[in-house]
C-alpha cells in the first residue's frame, strides 16, 4: 500500500466536530478550490474537513496544501488507490457524529450542512440525501429540461415521489447520483462498514446495504443542496459499458434482498428493476453497436495500411535475400547457430517438469550417484492451502486483530497498516542490495507501532504472532504421500532439506511443520526471511551449497514455481524440478476466481466458502466406511445446520440475549453444536423439556378459546374433538357426556370446519370450561415451577432455539405467563418460520426464521418447509417427547412418553440411524467453523449457500436418499400415537397418461413431493415442478 504524507497537523483530539467532511481528490485542480470553498462558506461551522489527494498528477496537491484552516487535515497518497479505498480511509479518520462526502469536482450549497444536520437530529434519520443540481464543466447550471441527463433524472424523482420510498426510487435507478450527496450517522459506518470495492456503483451498493440493515434512509427532494458537475472526466464516462455491467451485476445479486425488504411495494419494485435492467441493457447494446461500427472502420483502414506495408516489406525482403552480403553472412552464421543450440540443449538437460510429486523418485534414482541432498519448497509443494488466494489468510489475521483491538480498528485499517509496514521493510531490503525479503518479527514490530493501539505493544505483538500461526496452520495441510517420500529419500542416505521464500521466520515455519507432522522428517530448514537471501535470485541455493561445500549438481530441488524452484538452480548447474500439478493449479485458480467474484455478492461467497469447507472436510479422518445416515448428516444436514448456527450466534450477540433455551426435542442437535460455536461472552444454554402438549395445557388455565382448540385441527389426520382433548392432555372420558349433548355422536369424527357450531357450543358450556380450567391450572402450576427451577424468569432477554415452523411453544408460553412482571423478553431463533398457524406473537415476543422467514422472505424461498420432517428427524433427541412434569420432593422433572407407545416403539427402532445423523453433523462442524474463521463470511452472505443446499436436499434427492429417509419413523406428536408415512407412490409415465388426477392428488398429499419423481429419468421433472411452484408463488 502506498505511503501517506501528512504535512498539516490534526485538530486537537478534544475537539469533536459535529460533522466530518471527506474530500477524495484526484486530478481535479480546476475544481478542487471551488469544492473546498463551498465547505468554508457553510452556514454551519462545527465541522472538520479531511482532504485526501489520491496521487494526483496535476496541481491539485499544492492547492490543497495552501489551506491553513485548523479544521482541515490534508493527506496525500504517493500511489493511486481508487475512490472507494480513499473514501474509506477518510471515514476511518473522521471524528464527527455525522459523516459526509464531497467529491473534488462537486460543491455544496451554502446551507446544506445546517439543513441536513438539523433534519437528521429532529427526524432520527440515519442517512440523508437531497436533490442534486447538475452543473456544466464551467460551473454554470445545466438546466435544459430536454437534455438526456435531466430527463432521466426527472424520471427517477417522479418514481420516488409516487411511493416516497427510497428503495423504490433506487429500483428505478441511482437517483442519489453521487457520493457527494451522502450524509449519514457515524453509527452507520461503524456497524455496516465502508464502501465496497466497486469502481462505479460503490455508492449504490452502500445505500442498499443500509436499507437492508433496517436504517431510516430519506431523500429530501424539494431542494437541490449539492452541485454535481457533468464533464468528460466523470468516472462513469471513462468506461460506460463497464459501469452498466457493474450495475447489472449489483442488481442481479441483490434482487432477493430488495424484494424481501419491499413490503407492499414488492411488485412495483420488481417491475422497476426489470425496467432499469432493460434500459441499462439497451444502453449497452447501443454503445457497443456504436463502438463496433467505429472499430470496423478502424479495422478497414488498418487492413488497407497493412496490405500496403506488407507489399513494401515483401519487396525489401526479396531484395535482401538476393544480395551477395546476405548469402555470404548466412554461410558464416549458420555453424555458429548450430553450436549455440547445442549448448542450450546441454545446459537444459537438468530442467525438468514433473506432474506428480511421486515422479521425484525416478529422477532421484537416475541421479543417485551424484546427489548429496534433495531440497523441497514448502508452500504448495510439501504443504497445500485449503484457501486461495494466500492473501485471504492475511486478511483473516487482520480481521481477528481488529476484533481483538475493537474501537475504531477495522479489518481494512489493520490490513492497510500491515501492508505499509511490509512495503517499507521490503523497500529497505532492496536498498541494501537484498532480495526484498522481510522478517515477520520486524514486520510485527512496525505493524504494532502503526496500529497505535491501547493494548501494550509486547502483548499485542505476541497475540499477532499467535493469530498468524493459527491461521496459517488452519489453512495448510500436508499433501498425500509426502512423509513416505521423505522417509524413502532419507533411507537412500540423502539429506532432506526444506527451503522457502517466506516472510515467516524459521521458528514460525518449524512450528507449522511440526503441527503437520513433517518436521521430524527434515534434516535442515532454510528460510529467506532469516538470511535475506531468496530462491528466485539463486542466492539461497548458493548459501546452501556453500554451507556444505557441495557442487551445484549435487543438489536436487523440487517446487511449484518454474523460476525460483527450477530455473534459479538450473542457471547454477544444479537440478530443479518444476512441480506442475494440473489438478492443484486448477483448484487454486478456480478458488481465486470465486474469491474475486465475491465482491458481486449473490451465490459467489457461498461457492468460495463451499470449496474451502469441502477442502477442510476432506482433511479430516476418512469416514467413507460409515453408513448412509452418517454420511447424510456430514454432507447434507451438517452444513445446513451449521449455517443456521452461524446465524444464531450473530443474532444472539446482536439482540443481547442473556439465556438460551434449546427446546426439546428438535432443538437437541443445536444444543450439541452450541458449545463448539459459543464464544467466551456468549450466554449459557439449557435444554428445555417442553412440548406442544405441555405448553398448550398450561395455556388453558383460564379456559380454552376457539383459536386454541383449532390448533389440534391442523393435523392432517385430526379426529375432531378427540384430537382437541388429547392435544391439551384432557381425559376424553370426562367430556363424553358433554360431547353427546352438543351433537358429537362420535368424538373422533373429523372437523373440516374449524368454526363448527357444535364446537362453539361445547366450548361455551361452563361445566366444560370448569373441567378445562382445573386441568389447565394444574398443568400451569407444574410448568411454572419447572421454569422457575430453570431460572427462566430471572433473565431479562431469553431466546428459544428450535427447528421451528410455527413458534407454537413460544406463543402459548407468553399466553400462559405473560402477565408476570418478571416475564422476560422472548426471541425465537428457528431454522425456518413458515407462520401457517400463528401470525402475531405480542409485544416483546419476536420470531425469526434464519433459513426461511415467512415475514420477510418470498414464498418461493420456502424450500425448507417442503419436507419439514427431514429436518425434524435430523435434529430430534433420541429420547421421547415430554408429556408433563412430576413433583419429586419439590423438584420438578419431565415425564416422557412411555417406550411401549406405538409411535415411540417405531422411533426407537430408528434411533440408531438418527444417532448416526447426529454424529455426521457433529463431525462436519469444526471444518465449518474453521472455514468461516478463514473467510470471515457473515451469515447474510452464507444464506444463499444455505438456499442452494436446501434445494439439493429437498428438490433433487438421490434414489438412495429417498429410500433411506422415507424409511424413518416420524411421530406426528398431536396427542395421538400416529406415525406419518413418509413414503408416497412414485410417479410413472403410465400413471401420468392414464390417471393424471390421481397422480396429482397423490403429489399434493405427499409429505416429500420431490421424492415421487424418483422413477422418472433425469431430474428435469423435479426442476419443472420446482419452477412451476416458484411461478405460482411469484
* pLDDT tens figures, 93-140: 999 999 999 999 999 999 999 999 999 999 999 999 999 999 988 888
Q: Is the pLDDT of residue 279 over 70?
A: no
Selection from 576, 653, 1002, 997 nearest residue 827 by Cα: 653
Give the separation between CA 811 and CA 73, rounded to whole angstroms.
Answer: 56
User: What would the grid cell of residue 944 be?
Assistant: 444463499
Q: Is the pLDDT of residue 24 over 90?
A: yes
Residue 344's pLDDT is 45
Residue 90's pLDDT is 92
Burial 252-277 (b: 16+ CB within 10 A, else e): ebbbbbbbbbbeebeebbbebbeebb
**How many Cα atoms occupy the beta-carbon half-sphere of 1020 within 13 Å?**
3
Which whole number is the average pLDDT over 31-36? Answer: 93
Q: Is the pLDDT of residue 20 over 60?
A: yes
Q: Is the pLDDT of residue 980 over 90?
A: no
Give the separation between CA 871 and CA 832, rounded to whole angstroms.
Answer: 10
Question: Fold match between 4-161+176-237 and 355-583?
Answer: no
Q: Is the pLDDT of residue 830 over 60?
A: yes
Give the separation between CA 782 and CA 887, rounded to whole angstroms.
Answer: 8
Q: 476 or 278: whose pLDDT is higher?
A: 476
Residue 10's pLDDT is 40
Q: Is the pLDDT of residue 35 over 80?
A: yes
Which residues 6+ apart lie within 8 Å of 112 measured at CB? Answer: 42, 130, 225, 226
For the stretch 336-361, pLDDT in tens is: 766 655 554 444 444 478 888 888 89
Give the separation between CA 234 and CA 105, rounded to whole angstroms.
Answer: 9
Residue 524's pLDDT is 95
Residue 292's pLDDT is 55
Model confidence band, residue 666 (pLDDT cutoffs 50, 70, 90): very high
| Residue 560 near residue 381 (C-beta atoms within 8 A) | yes
Identify the H or E element spanning 688.
Answer: strand 685-688
Model confidence band, residue 22 (pLDDT cutoffs 50, 70, 90): very high
| Residue 24 near residue 75 (C-beta atoms within 8 A) | no
Q: Is the pLDDT of residue 13 over 50?
A: no
Residue 338's pLDDT is 64
Which residues 6+ apart lie within 8 Å of 210 measured at CB? Answer: 126, 127, 184, 188, 192, 217
Classify residue 859 as exposed, middle or buried by CB count within 10 Å of its CB (0-12, 13-18, 19+). Answer: middle
Q: What is the DSSP string of 929-975?
A: HHHHHHH---HHHHHHHHHHHHIIIIIS--HHHHHHHTTS-EE--SS
Q: Is the pLDDT of residue 3 over 60?
A: no
For the stretch 414-470, pLDDT in tens is: 999 999 999 888 888 888 777 788 899 999 999 999 998 888 888 999 999 999 999
Selection from 729, 672, 670 nearest residue 881 by Cα: 729
User: What would the grid cell of residue 269 be?
Assistant: 419494485
% helix / strand / coil in the chain, to the nearest 5? 55, 15, 30
799 three-state secondary structure: strand
Rounded percentage of the chain residues whose pLDDT exceeds 90: 46
In angstroms, the Cα distances linking 165 to 221, 262, 265, 778, 870 are: 12, 9, 9, 52, 40
Which whole number is the average pLDDT over 208-218? Answer: 88
User: What would the grid cell of residue 969 be?
Assistant: 419413523
| Residue 156 near residue 169 (C-beta atoms within 8 A) | yes
Q: Is the pLDDT of residue 485 over 60?
A: yes
Q: Is the pLDDT of residue 291 over 60?
A: no
Give the separation between CA 400 and CA 780, rounded to whole angstroms.
Answer: 47
In angstroms, the Cα distances linking 996 to 989, 990, 1022, 1031 are: 10, 9, 17, 21
Selection from 483, 471, 802 nearest residue 648 by Cα: 802
Note the CATH number of domain 4-161+176-237.
3.90.550.10
Identify the residue whose cell numbers are 426527472: 154
Selection from 517, 522, 800, 849 nearest residue 671 by Cα: 800
832 three-state secondary structure: strand
Residue 95's pLDDT is 92
Q: 979 or 908: whose pLDDT is higher?
A: 908
| Residue 660 near residue 671 (C-beta atoms within 8 A) | no
Mean pLDDT across the chain: 86
Name the CATH superfamily, with its identifier, for domain 355-583: HAD superfamily/HAD-like (3.40.50.1000)
Residue 15's pLDDT is 61
CB atoms within 10 A of CB 417: 22
| Residue 415 near residue 85 (C-beta atoms within 8 A) | no
Phi and psi at 1026, nearest 5°, equal -65, -45
Classify residue 1023 as exposed, middle or buried by CB count within 10 Å of its CB (0-12, 13-18, 19+). Answer: middle
User: What would the grid cell of residue 795 be?
Assistant: 433473565
User: What are the extents of the domains in the chain?
Assistant: 4-161+176-237, 294-354, 355-583, 984-1034
Question: What is the rounded end-to-end Cα distance, in angstroms, of the chain?
Answer: 48
Residue 993's pLDDT is 79
Least confident of 542-556, 804-818, 870-884: 804-818
Model confidence band, residue 979 (pLDDT cutoffs 50, 70, 90): confident
In angstroms, the Cα distances linking 306 to 292, 295, 312, 318, 843 are: 20, 16, 10, 18, 79
Residue 902's pLDDT is 87
Q: Is the pLDDT of residue 4 over 50?
A: no
Residue 986's pLDDT is 84
Q: Is the pLDDT of residue 300 over 70?
A: no
Residue 7's pLDDT is 41
Cα 491-495-500 angle, rounded to 5 deg: 130
User: What would the grid cell of residue 324 be?
Assistant: 551477395
| Residue 442 near residue 426 (C-beta atoms within 8 A) | no
Amino acid at each position: 500500500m502506498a505511503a501517506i504524507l501528512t504535512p498539516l497537523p490534526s485538530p486537537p483530539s478534544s475537539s469533536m466536530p459535529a460533522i466530518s467532511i471527506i474530500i477524495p481528490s484526484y486530478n481535479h485542480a480546476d475544481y478542487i478550490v471551488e469544492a473546498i470553498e463551498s465547505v468554508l462558506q457553510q452556514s454551519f461551522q462545527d465541522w472538520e474537513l479531511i482532504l485526501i489527494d489520491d496521487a494526483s498528477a496535476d496541481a491539485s496537491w499544492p492547492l490543497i496544501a495552501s489551506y491553513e484552516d485548523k479544521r482541515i487535515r490534508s493527506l496525500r497518497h504517493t500511489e493511486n488507490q481508487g475512490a472507494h479505498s480513499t473514501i474509506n480511509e477518510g471515514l476511518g479518520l473522521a471524528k464527527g457524529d455525522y459523516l459526509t462526502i464531497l467529491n473534488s469536482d462537486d460543491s455544496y450549497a451554502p446551507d446544506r450542512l445546517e439543513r441536513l444536520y438539523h433534519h437528521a437530529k429532529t427526524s432520527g434519520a440515519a442517512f440523508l440525501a437531497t436533490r442534486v443540481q447538475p452543473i456544466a464543466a464551467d460551473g454554470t447550471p445545466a438546466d435544459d429540461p430536454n437534455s438526456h441527463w435531466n430527463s432521466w433524472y426527472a424520471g427517477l424523482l417522479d418514481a420516488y415521489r409516487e411511493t416516497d420510498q427510497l428503495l423504490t426510487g433506487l429500483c428505478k435507478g441511482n437517483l442519489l447520483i453521487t457520493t457527494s450527496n451522502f450524509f449519514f450517522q457515524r453509527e452507520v459506518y461503524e456497524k455496516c462498514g465502508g464502501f465496497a470495492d466497486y469502481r462505479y456503483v460503490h455508492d449504490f451498493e452502500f445505500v442498499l446495504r443500509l436499507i437492508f440493515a433496517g436504517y431510516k434512509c430519506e431523500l429530501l427532494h424539494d431542494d437541490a443542496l449539492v452541485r454535481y458537475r457533468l464533464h468528460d472526466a466523470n468516472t462513469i464516462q471513462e468506461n460506460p459499458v463497464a459501469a452498466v455491467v457493474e450495475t447489472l451485476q449489483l442488481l442481479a445479486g441483490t434482487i432477493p434482498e430488495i424484494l424481501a425488504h419491499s413490503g407492499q411495494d414488492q411488485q412495483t419494485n420488481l417491475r422497476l428493476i426489470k425496467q432499469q435492467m432493460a434500459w441499462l441493457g439497451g444502453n449497452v447494446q447501443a454503445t457497443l453497436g456504436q463502438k463496433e461500427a467505429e472499430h470496423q472502420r478502424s479495422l478497414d483502414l488498418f487492413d488497407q495500411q497493412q496490405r500496403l506495408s506488407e507489399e513494401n516489406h515483401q519487396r525489401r525482403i526479396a531484395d535482401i535475400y538476393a544480395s551477395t552480403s546476405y548469402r555470404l553472412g548466412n554461410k558464416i552464421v549458420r555453424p555458429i547457430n548450430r553450436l549455440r543450440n547445442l549448448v542450450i540443449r546441454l545446459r537444459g538437460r537438468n530442467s525438468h517438469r514433473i506432474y506428480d510429486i511421486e515422479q521425484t523418485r525416478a529422477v532421484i534414482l537416475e541421479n543417485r550417484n551424484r546427489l548429496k541432498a534433495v531440497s523441497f519448497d514448502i508452500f504448495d509443494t510439501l504443504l497445500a492451502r485449503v484457501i486461495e488466494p494466500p492473501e485471504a489468510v492475511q486478511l483473516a489475521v487482520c480481521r481477528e486483530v481488529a476484533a481483538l483491538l475493537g474501537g475504531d480498528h477495522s479489518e481494512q485499517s489493520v490490513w492497510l497498516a500491515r501492508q505499509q509496514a511490509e512495503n517499507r521493510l521490503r523497500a529497505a531490503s532492496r536498498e541494501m542490495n537484498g532480495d526484498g525479503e522481510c522478517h515477520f518479527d520486524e514486520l510485527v514490530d512496525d505493524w504494532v507501532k502503526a496500529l497505535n493501539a491501547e493494548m501494550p505493544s509486547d502483548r499485542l505483538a505476541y497475540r499477532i504472532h499467535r493469530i498468524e500461526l493459527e491461521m496459517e496452520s488452519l489453512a495448510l495441510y500436508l499433501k498425500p504421500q509426502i512423509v513416505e517420500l521423505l522417509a524413502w529419500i532419507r533411507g537412500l542416505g540423502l539429506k532432506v532439506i526444506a527451503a522457502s521464500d517466506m516472510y515467516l521466520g524459521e521458528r514460525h515455519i518449524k512450528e507449522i511443520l511440526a503441527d503437520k507432522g513433517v518436521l521430524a522428517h527434515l534434516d535442515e530448514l532454510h528460510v529467506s526471511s532469516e538470511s535475506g537471501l531468496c530462491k528466485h535470485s539463486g542466492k539461497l541455493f548458493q548459501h546452501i551449497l556453500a554451507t556444505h561445500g557441495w557442487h551445484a549438481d549435487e543438489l536436487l530441488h523440487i517446487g511449484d514455481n518454474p523460476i525460483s524452484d527450477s530455473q534459479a538452480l538450473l542457471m547454477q548447474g544444479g537440478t530443479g524440478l518444476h512441480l506442475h500439478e494440473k489438478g492443484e493449479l486448477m483448484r487454486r485458480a478456480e478458488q481465486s476466481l470465486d474469491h474475486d467474484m465475491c465482491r458481486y455478492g449473490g451465490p459467489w461467497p457461498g461457492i468460495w466458502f463451499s470449496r474451502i469447507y469441502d477442502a477442510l472436510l476432506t482433511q479430516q479422518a476418512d469416514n467413507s466406511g460409515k453408513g448412509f445416515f452418517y454420511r447424510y448428516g456430514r454432507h447434507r444436514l451438517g452444513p445446513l445446520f451449521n449455517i443456521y448456527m452461524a446465524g444464531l450466534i450473530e443474532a444472539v450477540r446482536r439482540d443481547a440475549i442473556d439465556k438460551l433455551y434449546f427446546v426439546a426435542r428438535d432443538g437437541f442437535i443445536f444444543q450439541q453444536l452450541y458449545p463448539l460455536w459459543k464464544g467466551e461472552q456468549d450466554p449459557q444454554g439449557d435444554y428445555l423439556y417442553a412440548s406442544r402438549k405441555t405448553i398448550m395445557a398450561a395455556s388453558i388455565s383460564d379456559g380454552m378459546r376457539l383459536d386454541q382448540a383449532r390448533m389440534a385441527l391442523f393435523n392432517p389426520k385430526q379426529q375432531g374433538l378427540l384430537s382437541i382433548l388429547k392435544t391439551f392432555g384432557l381425559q376424553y372420558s370426562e367430556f363424553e357426556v358433554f360431547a353427546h349433548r352438543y351433537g358429537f355422536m362420535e368424538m373422533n369424527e373429523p372437523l373440516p370446519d374449524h368454526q363448527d357450531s357444535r364446537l362453539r357450543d361445547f366450548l361455551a358450556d361452563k361445566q366444560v370450561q370448569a373441567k378445562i380450567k382445573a386441568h389447565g391450572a394444574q398443568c400451569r402450576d407444574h410448568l411454572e415451577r419447572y421454569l422457575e427451577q430453570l431460572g427462566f424468569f430471572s433473565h431479562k432477554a431469553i431466546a428459544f432455539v428450535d427447528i421451528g415452523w410455527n413458534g407454537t411453544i413460544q406463543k402459548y408460553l407468553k399466553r400462559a405467563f405473560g402477565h408476570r412482571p418478571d416475564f422476560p423478553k422472548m426471541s425465537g431463533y428457528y431454522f425456518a418460520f413458515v407462520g401457517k398457524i400463528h401470525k402475531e406473537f405480542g409485544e416483546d415476543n419476536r420470531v425469526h426464521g434464519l433459513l426461511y422467514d415467512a415475514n420477510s422472505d418470498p414464498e418461493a424461498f420456502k424450500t425448507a418447509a417442503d419436507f419439514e420432517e427431514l429436518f425434524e428427524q435430523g435434529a430430534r433427541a433420541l429420547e421421547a417427547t415430554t408429556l408433563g412434569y412430576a413433583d419429586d420432593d419439590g423438584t420438578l422433572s419431565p415425564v416422557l412418553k412411555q417406550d411401549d407407545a406405538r409411535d415411540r416403539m417405531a422411533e426407537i427402532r430408528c434411533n440408531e440411524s438418527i444417532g448416526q445423523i447426529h454424529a455426521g453433523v457433529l463431525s462436519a462442524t469444526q471444518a465449518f467453523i474453521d472455514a468461516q474463521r478463514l473467510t470471515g463470511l457473515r451469515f447474510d452472505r452464507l444464506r444463499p449457500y444455505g438456499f442452494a443446499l436446501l434445494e439439493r436436499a429437498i428438490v433433487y434427492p438421490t434414489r438412495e436418499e429417498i429410500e433411506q429417509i422415507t424409511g424413518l419413523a416420524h411421530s406426528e406428536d398431536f396427542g395421538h400415537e400416529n406415525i406419518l408415512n413418509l413414503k408416497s407412490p412414485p410417479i410413472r409415465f403410465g400413471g401420468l397418461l392414464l390417471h393424471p388426477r390421481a397422480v396429482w392428488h397423490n403429489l399434493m398429499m405427499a409429505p416429500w413431493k420431490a421424492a415421487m419423481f424418483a422413477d422418472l429419468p433425469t431430474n428435469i421433472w423435479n426442476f419443472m415442478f420446482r419452477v412451476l411452484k416458484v411461478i405460482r408463488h411469484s
